[in-house]
Amino acid sequence: MLDCGLDMTSTLNFLPLPLVQSPRLSNLPGWSLKDGNAFLDKELKECSGHVFVDSVPEFCLPETELIDLSTVDVILISNYHCMMALPYITEHTGFTGTVYATEPTVQIGRLLMEELVNFIERVPKAQSASLWKNKDIQRLLPSPLKDAVEVSTWRRCYTMQEVNSALSKIQLVGYSQKIELFGAVQVTPLSSGYALGSSNWIIQSHYEKVSYVSGSSLLTTHPQPMDQASLKNSDVLVLTGLTQIPTANPDGMVGEFCSNLALTVRNGGNVLVPCYPSGVIYDLLECLYQYIDSAGLSNIPFYFISPVANSSLEFSQIFAEWLCHNKQTKVYLPEPPFPHAELIQTNKLKHYPSLHGDFSSDFRQPCVVFTGHPSLRFGDVVHFMELWGKSSLNTVIFTEPDFSYLEALAPYQPLAMKCIYCPIDTRLNFIQVSKLLKEVQPLHVVCPEQYTQPPPAQSHRMDLMIDCQPPAMSYRRAEVLALPFKRRYEKIEIMPELADSLVPMEIKPGISLATVSAVLHTKDNKHVLQPPPRPTQPTGGKKRKRASDDIPDCKVLKPLLSGSIPVEQFVQALEKHGFSDVKVEDTAKGHIVLLQEAETLIQIEEDSTHIICDNDEMLRVRLRDLVLKFLQKF
């Protein structure tokens, strides 16, 4: 199984979970059907024309109908964003396999899960809504609730115990490490350049190679650069995880982010940046480190609030081997690879596990706050939205591309604060994909259907789709696709003692043949040719054979034949041996020599010769010997 991401957009249908009681949210009116029926008013609340579920947010799990996840042997994880559904799979499906991921992926994935669990668990909500999920009722609801798919499979967040259990099933791997999977294939993670420890995977047998490219970046950010060279010569390249906002250039967005931040703060406003605790935030802090002095923002405090803020900032500094070259060099100086260490040291950046405690006493405005969750449905961000939403001096800047910012803001309407959308998605865009595919030249590309056509809203943008030759094979949800290659060869090892016994004969310059008589031993998809057992010696004693010696007896070896039969000469030979009524017919595959009198057929084809005669063994043997005269034996 390739990745197991969690669709968290389902949470946008729920009301935010405030850290402290919010009169505004508590007093939202219940929603009733057009006919005035108000039986759902406890579950559904209305806010500025949008309807939300008033319950603990729930998540949309990976597809479970199509495949029995207990039969999955291995899960390969590309990056920490693509493992958020892992506890649901490992703990609730009977999964007994192994999960492979790099160390930073696991560590930062753990932080993301921990933060998620913490955000949800610290504001327990007694109410659990389920009535609205009834299919008959759901039909009556307004969009987007009406159009939500598989709502019955939506689940509450997992627990920390489940997280720990799930993570314990992960086996850590390093870049370029070759991992044998049951002898059938070898998998290798490669740097994908997107995030700390993010990987693309090579899945290869001896004669076939499939590349799985997911969440990759060619931009120069903090992670190790993408390893493109190893993706070459792939039979199939499965491509996914491209940028979600192909029209937004990350550089331009960072510029926009900085400018808007500076303008807000200069006017005395606060800036709220809903974000994940790892990833783009490192790059943003680095940009700000260079920018704040030039923008005269040296005295403005930057706050990073997350239950895992401290761990995230510290982890980033210790994964030196997973960082880009420049940052790796710093480690040897020795200096911290990321400049946020200096921001912390100089008190320009302060981090807190939550709003409670030290933060309350240190809090100074105007300021910039980085906090989660980007969906604006849970986490400390909910509090800041409630706190700052009423003033037009303040700004919320969206940098994470995973959620529609308009939908995220819907339960906060009416909102006075400014909203800026600067999605920073460093993953491959279509131009970069084109270049990558030209460089890597896979025989076939397989990708989601969405990548093979322009976005519906911009149907004229032919540049926003994959353009490659041959055209990419696309797949859609729940579609089963046969990859366009067949396994035709297997590699077989030969034991040294058997190899020693071979006597090659050169049949052409540079080509030698040898007959091999051996036993093919197959175990764990490994094939080994072993020396044949010695002919059974007459047992002198009465000892019984042991079970392990019970290898089938070897028959007397017949010589191997090679060569082709020249038909004309063969006919002459037949005539010489007394067959007078020989007829030759050409067929698509060879010839048929017909001995009319003897009612016998000799079928001569490229790779076979059949003598078909009617119960005349003598004749058959004669003819066979004649045939054999034209062939080489060894």
Partner 1 sequence: MGRGVTGLAPACLRASQLELFSPGAPGWPFGDFHALPGRRLCGRPLQIRQVARPGAGPEAAEGRGAGLSSLIMDPECSQLLPALCSVLADPRQPVTDDTCLEKLLDWFKTITEAGSSLLLLQENPCLLGLLCHVLKPQDLSPRVLAFSLRLAGMLAAQEDCFQYLQQGELLPRLFGEAGPLGGAAWTAPSVRSGWIQGLRSLAHHPSALCFLADCGAVDTIFSLQGDSSLFVASAAGQLLVHVLGLSLQGPAEGHPGLQTGDWPVCAQKIVSHIEESLRSAATPQITQALNVLTTTFGHCHNPWTQVLWVRLSPLVARLLEKDPVPAAHSLVDLLLSVARSPVLSSSSCGLWETLAQTLSHLSPTQAGPLALGILKLQECPQALRAQAFAVLLQPLTCVLEATAQAPGLLDSWDGTGGASVTVDTLLASKAACVGLLCRTLAHLELLQPLPQRPSPWPQAPLLGATVTILRLCSGSATPTSDAGGHLCAFLVGCVRVQRAALDFLGTLSRGTGPRELVTQVFAVLLEYLTSPDSSPTVLKKAFQATFRWLQSSPETPGCSDLDPHAQLFLRELLPVLPKRLCSPCWEVRDSGLEFLTQMIGRWGGQAGFRRALLASEVPELTEQLLRDPESYVRASAVAAMGQLSSQGLRVTPASPEHPGGQQKSLLAELLHILSTDSEGFPRRAVMHVFTQWLRDGHADVAADTERFVARVLQVASQDLDWEVRAQGLELALVFLEQTLGRPSSHCPYAVTPPVAAPPGPLAQALRPLCRVQLFEFAFRALFDCDRPVAQKSCDLLLFLRAQTASYSGPQGSGSVPEVASVEAALQRWQAGDQGQPLGYLEPEVVVAVLRSMDLEGLRGALAESSDRVEKSPQSLLQDMLATVGALGEDEADCY
For partner 1, which residue of 252, 455, 533, 559 counts as binding (CB under 8 A)? 252
60 binds partner 1 (CB under 8 A): no
**Per-residue string for binding with partner 1, 371-410, x by CB under 8 A?**
----------------------------------------
CB 267 within 8 A of CB 334: no
Whichever of 12 and 253 has its CB closer to partner 1, that residue is 253
Burial 11-46 (b: 16+ CB within 10 A, else e): bbbbbbbbbeebeebeebeebeeeeeeeebeebbbe
Q: Which of 265, 273, 382, 498 binds partner 1 (CB under 8 A)?
A: 265
Does position 461 interact with partner 1 (CB under 8 A)? The reply is: yes
Answer yes or no whether residue 253 interacts with partner 1 by CB under 8 A: yes
How many alpha carbons lie under 13 Å from residue 67 in its C-beta half-sphere? Answer: 14
Q: Which one of 294, 564, 587, 632 is in contact with partner 1 (CB under 8 A)?
A: 294
d(C-alpha 241, C-alpha 161), whole Å? 29
Contacts of 26 by beta carbon, 8 Å cutoff, 6+ apart: none
Per-residue mark of binding to partner 1, 428-457 (x: CB under 8 A) = ---x--------------------------
CB 300, CB 273: distance < 8 Å: no
Helix (H) or strand (E) holding 163: helix 160-168
Q: What is the 3-state secondary structure (H, E, C) of 538-586?
A: CCCCCCCCCHHHCCCCCCCCCCCEECCCCHHHHHHHHHHCCCCCEEEEE
Contacting residue, 37, 171, 267, 587, with partner 1 by CB under 8 A:
267
Q: Are 465 and 437 in contact (CB under 8 A)?
A: no
Name which of 113 and 292 has its Cβ closer to partner 1.
292
Residues listed for the chain? 634
Is residue 419 a contact residue for partner 1 (CB under 8 A)?
no
**Strands, sheet with 302-305, edge to edge from the N-terminal-most edge strand:** 349-352, 302-305, 368-371, 271-274, 395-398, 418-421
- The window from 129-137, 236-244, 264-272, 581-589 that contacts partner 1 (CB under 8 A) reads 264-272
**Prior bond of 366 cis (ω within 30°):** yes
* 463 touches partner 1 by CB under 8 A: yes
Nearer to partner 1, 196 or 422 (CB): 422
Q: How far apart are CA 280 and CA 78, in angstroms?
A: 17
- With tokens 């045939």, the residue in question is 627
Number of Cβ within a 10 Å radius of residue 230 = 18
Regarding 299 and contact with partner 1 (CB under 8 A), the answer is: yes
Number of residues that bind partner 1 (CB under 8 A): 34
Within 10 A of 214 (CB to CB), how many other CB atoms are there?
25
- Binding-residue pattern over the window 488 to 517 for partner 1, x denoting contact by CB under 8 A: ------------------------------
Residue 263 in the binding site for partner 1 (CB under 8 A): yes
Q: At its nearest, how many Å lie between partner 1 and the CB of residue 257?
A: 9
Query: β-pairing, 271-274 with 302-305?
Result: unpaired
Task: Pick out residues in 331-370 that bind partner 1 (CB under 8 A).
Answer: 366
> Is residue 458 involved in binding partner 1 (CB under 8 A)?
yes
Stretch that binds partner 1, among 77-85, 118-126, 246-254, 596-604 (CB under 8 A): 246-254
Shortest distance (Å) from residue 251 CB to partner 1: 8
Give me the 68-87 binding string for partner 1, x by CB under 8 A, dash otherwise.
--------------------
CB of 461 to partner 1, least distance (A): 6
Give, for 91, the enclosing helix (H) or strand (E).
Answer: helix 86-92
Residue from 93, 153, 186, 259 that binds partner 1 (CB under 8 A)? 259
β strands within 241-330, DSSP E = 271-274, 302-305
Contact between 520 and 529 (Cβ < 8 Å): yes
- The CA distances from residue 301 to 270, 319, 375, in Å, are 10, 27, 24
Decide if residue 293 touches partner 1 (CB under 8 A). Answer: yes
Among 291, 302, 303, 579, indicate the residue that binds partner 1 (CB under 8 A).
291
* Least distance from partner 1 to the Cβ atom of residue 253, Å: 6
Nearest distance from C-beta of residue 242 to partner 1, angstroms:
16
Write the CB contacts of 449 (distance below 8 Å, at least 6 apart in sequence). 474, 475, 476
Among 258, 285, 382, 611, binds partner 1 (CB under 8 A): 258
Say whether residue 266 binds partner 1 (CB under 8 A). yes
For residue 460, state whether it binds partner 1 (rule: CB under 8 A): yes
Residue numbers at the binding site for partner 1 (CB under 8 A): 247-249, 252-256, 258-260, 262-263, 265-268, 287, 290-291, 293-296, 299-300, 366, 422, 431, 458, 460-463
